[in-house]
Each structure stands twice: as structure tokens, then as C-alpha cells.
């Protein structure tokens, strides 16, 4: 006669078996890790679903952490590498995720970026960006080569000139709104830069020039093009997180969902309307249509892939530049001496009294570019770039004392290139946490600066962002002095406390400031 086993016993036995399996897997990873210093995690930092949550250090341990998020070391600059004593460190987890390595070594990062066969992009982690179709970011290998070949001609000298012109137009629209006000108080300047970047991308990206306050709704649509773009940009995190049925549960999520549908509808109409007239337009979308129709090798993207790529251009070109301009304004407010030097430089090198540079003047604005680059160094839009190891290999680095180290990288490992740590690594940057635009004049360590990634997969829209940033900064500082908005609650704060308050941020798709409270005072 069989004796029944209590459910509690079965549950306990199952729990013990799972725990033993986890311990075995952990020991296997420790063995493969070969003593590389780093963190010990309960939940792997590669678990994408947890990416926006915090991390907690387990009390009374040196290295153990209950980690459910990526953002922790993405915001901690070089500190964590300094703690563990070298520029490549590990993250070993108890769960079944692969070994992970974090890199802040410029030479090792360049080796990873250049050797795409040894260190391919983990495409599965980017599938969430296929909201409209496959694109340059979500493809690899031969598929990526087709996307790159078709999209590259869009970023031409002609389109760069259009970016310059559209940025001037957007800034003039902003100044018109501020007209008659001696001082303009912004509770969060990011809200303004988001609108500015939106207008630029609408014009240069789609050939649709929209005023700052325009909301015209054409026949057959539920919302304006501008509103659709705003909803898509603001709601992308919600869209990639929630299933379709959940998007209908609240008024806001339903409107975000409608924004995605409306943007697709607008882009489909553009493809149809411009099928035989794209040569009459200079925007990125029309250039992409032209390249897709007349590729010399007969390569062709589907309509969904065309829309998928222009969506990526929209997200990359909108958020990143907007946030960088907001960070730049805060830095210039904190460092008035730098701001005045920038103002004098602009007065000398831009012929138009409005501060609006011509396209031919943009390359001469070296100090404006230096301010923009220094902002990107301190606050890169993307702080973490994942790669995988396709084979058992090694990477070389050094300890913080300069001793050479060879780090074994087992096949299947995840590598995270931490731009925020690389950009503040004292091996490459003197006084790395200080705002010193002059470091970008003359010789500077280009291999240790990756705000637009690097290698063959570097950001195709880099020049677009740089031109937009330089033109917008030139016009803003030529016309206005920027200061931190006075707030009685923070009357006694030190410089470092103020800096910490201003640069609180979170990571959604890109590094996003929580609030940039600045005041613009008209220059006489």
C-alpha cells in the first residue's frame, strides 16, 4: 500500500531542487569567470523586464546585491569600476542568465565594437523597437547591410543643410513665443527642448514644417501629425511594456495607442503621395524613399521596413538631442564663466546678430561643439550598449593601479559597454567629473568617447544631432543668459548639492532628466 506524500513535502522538495540547481549553475559561472572581480547578483542585470527598477545591496556583504535593474551602474559613472579595481568587471547571478561583463576600458570597447563577428549585437533585446517594422537597429548581418545601404544616403550634405535651416526656424518660433518677456522661467526646460526637437524632426525628417503651437487635423485623421509624433515619443516606454489589450485600459494609454496608429497612417500616406514626387523633397523620409526605389543593386526595403527605419530616426533624433540641450542649459547655468566665454565666441564667429549661423559657419563653431560634446560626455543619451560573445575569447585591460590584466570571456557571455563610465574614466579624462568644454579643443581621446556608439554600427544620425545641437545652442546663448531658477527651498544648498539636484535622472529609452528648472533673461 502506498503512503501519500503531503503537498508541503513535495513543495519543499521542489524548492530545494530548484535552489540546488541555481547553486550549481552559479558555481559553474564562478568557475568560468576565473576570478574576475565584480558583483554577485540574485537576479541578473540582463533581465530586460526589470530594466527600470532599482538595485539593493544586501546588508553585511561586500558584493552581493538584489538587483532588478540596469539603471544603477548606468548612472554611477566610473565609481563601480574604481570599487572593484579594474576597467572590466563581472556580474555573476544566481539565476540562469549568462555571465555578464561591464566594460569601461576604451581599447577593449573598441575591440568589441570593431569585431562584429566575435561580438555580435544581441538582436533579441532590440525586438521591442520593431513597433512599425524591422530597421537598422533591430537587424544584424546581411539584413543589417541592406538596411544600412538603403538608409545611409538619407544623411547627406543636403539633409544636413536642411537640419540647420529647420533648427533656425524652430528657434525663431520659440523666441517669438518669448517675445516681450524680459525673463522666461521654465520649471522644466526639458519640456521646451522636446518641443524644439520635435519641430526639427517634423521638418527635416518628414518635410512637414509645423509651428510651435500648431495642431491642425487634416481630413481622415483623429489628431494632427505633431500630436501623433508627440504621443509616440512620450509613450514608447508604455507601448513596449504593455500588451495591446492593456493599452485600452486608461484614457492616456488608449490615446498613446491611437498616436501610434495615426503616425503609421500618416507615414503610409506619405509613401503613397511621394511615390513619384520624392525628388521634390529634401527630408530624410523622401531621401529614404528615393534610395529604396533606385538602389544600384536592386536591394529594396518593404513599406513596413521603410516606416520602421524612419521611426528609429524619429526616436533617436528627437529624444537624444532634446535631452542633451536641456543638460547643456543646466551646465551653462551652473558654470557662468563657461557660458560667458561661449557667448563671446558666438558673437565673434556668427555673423547674424540673432545668433543664427549659416550652414557654412557651423564647422567654424568649435567652442559651441565643444560645449555640446562635453555635455554628451557627462550625460550620454545611451549609457549601456549590449553585445554578446560568439566564442571563448579574452579581452585585455588594466587595474586602477595600471597593472595589465587578461580577462577570459566565455562563449555566450553578455558584454555591457558602459559609456557613462568610459566617459568618466580618469585614465582618459583629467578631472573627469568636471564640466570643461576646452578638453574638446585640440587633441582629445576620441576612442574614449562613444555617445553615438562606434565601429560600423555607430549612429547614422550623428551629424544630424550635432548640427541641431550647435545651431540651437548658438541662438539660445546669443540671445539669452541662462541661470538656475531661484527656489527658497534650496537657499542654503552648496554647489555640489545644487548640481546633484539638477542632474537627477532616470533611464527610459535614453537618459532623461527629471527636471531642469532654469530661467532665461534677455540679453541687451
| Dist. CA 487–CA 58, nearest whole Å | 37
Strand order in the sheet with 384-388: 52-57, 64-69, 38-41, 88-93, 100-103, 414-418, 384-388
| Dist. CA 198–CA 213, nearest whole Å | 12
Q: How many CB atoms lie within 10 A of CB 213?
A: 9
- How do strand 480-484 and strand 518-522 relate by DSSP bridges? antiparallel
| Dist. CA 499–CA 495, nearest whole Å | 6
The answer for residues whose C-beta is within 8 angstroms of residue 186's C-beta and 6 or more apart is 192, 485, 516, 517, 518, 519, 520
Residue 405, all three cell numbers: 590584466
Question: Mutual orientation of helices 141-151 and 303-334 as an angle, nearest 10°?
Answer: 70
Helix (H, G, I), strand (E, B) or coil at 384: strand
What DSSP state is assigned to residue 453?
B
Phi, psi of 444 (to 5 degrees): -150, 160
Question: How far is residue 477 CA from its own chain's centroid?
Answer: 25
| Dist. CA 360–CA 29, nearest whole Å | 56
Residue 164 is labelled as binding a ligand: no
Helix, strand, coil shares, percent, the chain, to 5:
50, 15, 35
| Dist. CA 206–CA 20, nearest whole Å | 56
Helix-then-strand count for the chain, H and E: 17, 14
- Residue carrying C-alpha cell 513596449: 240
- Residue carrying C-alpha cell 565609481: 79
Q: How many CB atoms lie within 10 A of CB 238?
A: 16
| Dist. CA 327–CA 512, nearest whole Å | 9
Q: Residue 57: in which H helix or E strand, if any?
A: strand 52-57
Q: Which residues of 180-211 are buried (b: 16+ CB within 10 A; e: fewer)?
A: eeeebebebbbebbbbbbbbbbbbbbbbbbbe
| Dist. CA 31–CA 40, nearest whole Å | 14
| Binding-site sequence positions | 459
Cite the annotated binding site for heme by residue number: 459
Amino acid at each position: 500500500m502506498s503512503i501519500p506524500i503531503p503537498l508541503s513535502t513535495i513543495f519543499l522538495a521542489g524548492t530545494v531542487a530548484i535552489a540546488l540547481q541555481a547553486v550549481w549553475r552559479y558555481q559553474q559561472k564562478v568557475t568560468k569567470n576565473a576570478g574576475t572581480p565584480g558583483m554577485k547578483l540574485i537576479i541578473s542585470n540582463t533581465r530586460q523586464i526589470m530594466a527600470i527598477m532599482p538595485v539593493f545591496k544586501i546588508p553585511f556583504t561586500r558584493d552581493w546585491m538584489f538587483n532588478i535593474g540596469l539603471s544603477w551602474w548606468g548612472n554611477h559613472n566610473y565609481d563601480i569600476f574604481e570599487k572593484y579595481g579594474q576597467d572590466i568587471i563581472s556580474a555573476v547571478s544566481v539565476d540562469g542568465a549568462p555571465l555578464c561583463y561591464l566594460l569601461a576600458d576604451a581599447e577593449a570597447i573598441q575591440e568589441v565594437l570593431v569585431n562584429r563577428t566575435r561580438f555580435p549585437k544581441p538582436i533579441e533585446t532590440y525586438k521591442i523597437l520593431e513597433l512599425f517594422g524591422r530597421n537598422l537597429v533591430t537587424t544584424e548581418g546581411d539584413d543589417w547591410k541592406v538596411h544600412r545601404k538603403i538608409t545611409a544616403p538619407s544623411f547627406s550634405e543636403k539633409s544636413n543643410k536642411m537640419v540647420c535651416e529647420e533648427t533656425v526656424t524652430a528657434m525663431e518660433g520659440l523666441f517669438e513665443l518669448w517675445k516681450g518677456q524680459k525673463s522666461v522661467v521654465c520649471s522644466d526646460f526639458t519640456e521646451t527642448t522636446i518641443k524644439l526637437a520635435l519641430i526639427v524632426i517634423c521638418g527635416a525628417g518628414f518635410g512637414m514644417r509645423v509651428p510651435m503651437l500648431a495642431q491642425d487635423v487634416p481630413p481622415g485623421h483623429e489628431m494632427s501629425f505633431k500630436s501623433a509624433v508627440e504621443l509616440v515619443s512620450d509613450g514608447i516606454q508604455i507601448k513596449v511594456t504593455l500588451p495591446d489589450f492593456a493599452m485600452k485600459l486608461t484614457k492616456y494609454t488608449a490615446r498613446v495607442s491611437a498616436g501610434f496608429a495615426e503616425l503609421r497612417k500618416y507615414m503610409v500616406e506619405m509613401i503613397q503621395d511621394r511615390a513619384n514626387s520624392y525628388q521634390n523633397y529634401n527630408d530624410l523620409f523622401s531621401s529614404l524613399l528615393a534610395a529604396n526605389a533606385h538602389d544600384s543593386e536592386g536591394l529594396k526595403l518593404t513599406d513596413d521596413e521603410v516606416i520602421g527605419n524612419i521611426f528609429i530616426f524619429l526616436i533617436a533624433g528627437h529624444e537624444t538631442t532634446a535631452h542633451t540641450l536641456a543638460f547643456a542649459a543646466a551646465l551653462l547655468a551652473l558654470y557662468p564663466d563657461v557660458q560667458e566665454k561661449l557667448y563671446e565666441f558666438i558673437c565673434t564667429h556668427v555673423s547674424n546678430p540673432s545668433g543664427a549661423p549659416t550652414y557654412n559657419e557651423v564647422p567654424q563653431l568649435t567652442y559651441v561643439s565643444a560645449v555640446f560634446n562635453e555635455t554628451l560626455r557627462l550625460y550620454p543619451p545611451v549609457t549601456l550598449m549590449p553585445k554578446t560573445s560568439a566564442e571563448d575569447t579574452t579581452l585585455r585591460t588594466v587595474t586602477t593601479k595600471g597593472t595589465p590584466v587578461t580577462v577570459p570571456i566565455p562563449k555566450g557571455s553578455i558584454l555591457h559597454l558602459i559609456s557613462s563610465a568610459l566617459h568618466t574614466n580618469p585614465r582618459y579624462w583629467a578631472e573627469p567629473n568636471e564640466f570643461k568644454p576646452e578638453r574638446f579643443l585640440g587633441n582629445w581621446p576620441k576612442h574614449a568617447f562613444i555617445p553615438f556608439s562606434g565601429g560600423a554600427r555607430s549612429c547614422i544620425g550623428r551629424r544630424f544631432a550635432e548640427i541641431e545641437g550647435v545651431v540651437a545652442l548658438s541662438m539660445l546663448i546669443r540671445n539669452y543668459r541662462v541661470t538656475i531658477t531661484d527656489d527658497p527651498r534650496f537657499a542654503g544648498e552648496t554647489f555640489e548639492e545644487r548640481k546633484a539636484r539638477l542632474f537627477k535622472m532616470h533611464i527610459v529609452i535614453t537618459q532623461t532628466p527629471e527636471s531642469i528648472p532654469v530661467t532665461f533673461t534677455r540679453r541687451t
